[in-house]
C-alpha cells in the first residue's frame, strides 16, 4: 500500500483540461502529484475527506502586477489576497512594467530577492517593454536609435534565456507608448526565437480598439511571436459593444492558424495610475518633468484641452467616460479621498477636475491609483465565454482601496459566472484558470492534474465558493476555499494563511 504526505479523498477532480469532473483521489508526495482511482488503497500523513468538494490544479493568474509583492518590507501590500482564493502561480511583469532590468538588474536577481523574502505562491515573470525602454532609452518621447534598439534586444534575449516568460507591452503607458510598431516588432521577434509570447496591453482599448488590435496582430505576424491580448475589453462609451467585432476577428485569426489568446477579469471597472489619465506629451522626460508641468497653470490648461479634444493615437480614458467614472483607490497621504470620484472631489471644492488631479498628484509625488468604471457587463461576459480566453485578475496590490479583483477574481468566476449564471461549466472555468494558462506561458508540469505534476492544488466547495471583496472592502477573502497547496505544502486552510512559504520565481 502506497503512503503519501497528503491524500485528498471524496472530492471530484477537475483536472484542468476542461474534461468533465471525475471521481478519484489526489495524493501528494515529495512535492509531486499522484492521481488514484476512488477506492485505491493508500495511506498518508494527512488524509482530507471532502465529499461534495472539487480538487483542481492550483489556479494560475494570467495577469498580475505582483512583481514586488512580499518585497515591501513595510508589510503594507496585500500580499496574500491571490493565494487565499487558490492562486498558486501569478504571471507578473504585465503591461510593459516589470521589476527587471530595473530595479533588479536581471531575472536571476529578481528571483533571489523573492527567495530571500519568502512567498506563499509562485511567480512567473514577463519582461516589460516600458521598463526595458526606460532603462536603455530613458523617458523621452522619441524613437530609439538603432544602437538602443539593439541593446534592448540583447537585454531581452538574456532575460528570456534565463527563464522570463515572454515580452509584455503597455502601449497606453509611457515610456512604452513612445515606441513605434517597428520597435515592438523587433523585440517581439526576440521572444519568438525563444518560443515565448508577445503579451500586450493594446495601444487603445476604447474607441480605437480595433485599430490597436490590428497593430498587435501585425506585430505578431511580422515577428513570428504568439500573441496574447491582456485583459481584453472594449471600454468607454465609444467602445461599448465592440467585443461583437473583436472576438469574431480573433476567432477568424485562430481558424486561419494564428496562435492568439487573451485574458479577462470579471469586472466592469479597471484600475491604473491617475497619471495615466493625462496626455502622453505630459510625461515626456519622466515623472519629474510631469510634476513640473503640473505646477504650471498653462500646462494644466493644455492638459485640460487635450482631454476635451483628444490627441491622435491616445486612448484618453476620461474623454471616453468622464471624471465621474474615476475614483481614487490609493493616495497614502489623503486616505479620506479614497473611494471618492474626481468629479465629486472637484464639486465639493468648487474646483476644476484637472486642477484637483494636479494638486493630488503633486501632494502624493505622482503615486495615486484609481478605479475606472469604464466597461459594460455584456462585453465582459462575451470575453469570458470564448474558448480562447483565460482568467487574469490584473491585480494591483497597492495600499488603500485596491480593486477587489485582486482578492475576488477566481472566486467570482466560479461562484457568479459558473454556479449562478451558467455562463461556463465548472470544468471549462477551471481550464481557463489552469491548463490553458500553463500552456500559454510554458509552465511545464503545472495546470493539469496528472501523475508526476507539481503539487500545486486547490480544494473548494462548488456550492459555496464566492467572492466577498467589494470596492468598499476590497481585500475580503472569498468563501468556499478549503485548502491551497503550493509545492506540496499547505499554504491556506479554511480561509486562513499558514506559515509555509514554499513559493519561488519560476523559470519558463
Across residues 419-436, what is the average pLDDT?
98
201-228: pLDDT as tens digits = 999 999 999 999 999 999 999 999 999 9
Average pLDDT, the chain: 96
The CATH classification number of 58-271+374-442 equals 3.20.20.140
User: In DSSP terms, which residues pair with 496 in a beta bridge?
Assistant: 493
Q: What is the pTM of this model?
A: 0.97
Sequence spans of domains, the chain: 58-271+374-442, 272-373
Q: Report the pLDDT value the prediction gives residue 75, as an integer from 0 to 100.
A: 57
**Cβ count near 287 (within 10 Å):** 15
**Cβ count near 409 (within 10 Å):** 32
Cell readout for 274 is: 491617475
Cell readout for 450 is: 496528472
Across residues 260-266, what is the average pLDDT?
98
173-205: pLDDT as tens digits = 999 999 999 999 999 999 999 999 999 999 999
Helix, strand, coil % over all residues of the chain, rounded to 5:
35, 20, 45
Give the whole-angstrom CA distance, residue 497 versus residue 483: 10
Amino acid at each position: 500500500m502506497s503512503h503519501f504526505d497528503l491524500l485528498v479523498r471524496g472530492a471530484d477532480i477537475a483536472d484542468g483540461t476542461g474534461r468533465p469532473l471525475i471521481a478519484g483521489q489526489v495524493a501528494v508526495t515529495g512535492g509531486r502529484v499522484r492521481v488514484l482511482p476512488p477506492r485505491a488503497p493508500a495511506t498518508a500523513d494527512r488524509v482530507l475527506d471532502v465529499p461534495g468538494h472539487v480538487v483542481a490544479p492550483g489556479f494560475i493568474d494570467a495577469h498580475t502586477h505582483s512583481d514586488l509583492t512580499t518585497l515591501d518590507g513595510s508589510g503594507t501590500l496585500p500580499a496574500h489576497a491571490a493565494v487565499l482564493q487558490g492562486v498558486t502561480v501569478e504571471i507578473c511583469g504585465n503591461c510593459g512594467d516589470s521589476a527587471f532590468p530595473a530595479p533588479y538588474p536581471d531575472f536571476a536577481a529578481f528571483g533571489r530577492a523573492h527567495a530571500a523574502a519568502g512567498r506563499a505562491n509562485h511567480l512567473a515573470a514577463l519582461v516589460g517593454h516600458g521598463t526595458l525602454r526606460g532603462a536603455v532609452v530613458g523617458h523621452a518621447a522619441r524613437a530609439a536609435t538603432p544602437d538602443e534598439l539593439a541593446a534592448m534586444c540583447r537585454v531581452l534575449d538574456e532575460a528570456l534565456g534565463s527563464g522570463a516568460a515572454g515580452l509584455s507591452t503597455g502601449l497606453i503607458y509611457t515610456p512604452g507608448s513612445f515606441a513605434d510598431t517597428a520597435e515592438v516588432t523587433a523585440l517581439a521577434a526576440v521572444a519568438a526565437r525563444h518560443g515565448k509570447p508577445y503579451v500586450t496591453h493594446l495601444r487603445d482599448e476604447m474607441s480605437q480598439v480595433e485599430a490597436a488590435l490590428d497593430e498587435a496582430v501585425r506585430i505578431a505576424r511580422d515577428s513570428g511571436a504568439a500573441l496574447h491580448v491582456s485583459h481584453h475589453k472594449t471600454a468607454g462609451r465609444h467602445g461599448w459593444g465592440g467585443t461583437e467585432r473583436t472576438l469574431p476577428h480573433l476567432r477568424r485569426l485562430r481558424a486561419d492558424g494564428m496562435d492568439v489568446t487573451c485574458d479577462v477579469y470579471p469586472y466592469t471597472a479597471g484600475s491604473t495610475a491617475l497619471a495615466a489619465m493625462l496626455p502622453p506629451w505630459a510625461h515626456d522626460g519622466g515623472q519629474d518633468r510631469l510634476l513640473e508641468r503640473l505646477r504650471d497653470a498653462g500646462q494644466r490648461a493644455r492638459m485640460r484641452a487635450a482631454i476635451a479634444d483628444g490627441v491622435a493615437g491616445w486612448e484618453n480614458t476620461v474623454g471616453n467616460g468622464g471624471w465621474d467614472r474615476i475614483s481614487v483607490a490609493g493616495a497614502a497621504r489623503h486616505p479620506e479621498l479614497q473611494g471618492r470620484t474626481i468629479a465629486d472631489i472637484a464639486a465639493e471644492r468648487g474646483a476644476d477636475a484637472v486642477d484637483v488631479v494636479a494638486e493630488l498628484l503633486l501632494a502624493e509625488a505622482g503615486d495615486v491609483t484609481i478605479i475606472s468604471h469604464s466597461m459594460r457587463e455584456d462585453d465582459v461576459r462575451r470575453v469570458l465565454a470564448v474558448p480562447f480566453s483565460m482568467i487574469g485578475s490584473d491585480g494591483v496590490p497597492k495600499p488603500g482601496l485596491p480593486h477587489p479583483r485582486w482578492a475576488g477574481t477566481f472566486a467570482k468566476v466560479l461562484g457568479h459566472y459558473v454556479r449562478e449564471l451558467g455562463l461556463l461549466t465548472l470544468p471549462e472555468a477551471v481550464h481557463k484558470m489552469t491548463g490553458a494558462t500553463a500552456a500559454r506561458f510554458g509552465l511545464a508540469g503545472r495546470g493539469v492534474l496528472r501523475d508526476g505534476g507539481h503539487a500545486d492544488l486547490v480544494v473548494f466547495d462548488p456550492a459555496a465558493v464566492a467572492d466577498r471583496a467589494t470596492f468598499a472592502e476590497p481585500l475580503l477573502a472569498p468563501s468556499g476555499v478549503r485548502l491551497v497547496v503550493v509545492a506540496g505544502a499547505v499554504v491556506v486552510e479554511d480561509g486562513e494563511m499558514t506559515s509555509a512559504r514554499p513559493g519561488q520565481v519560476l523559470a519558463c
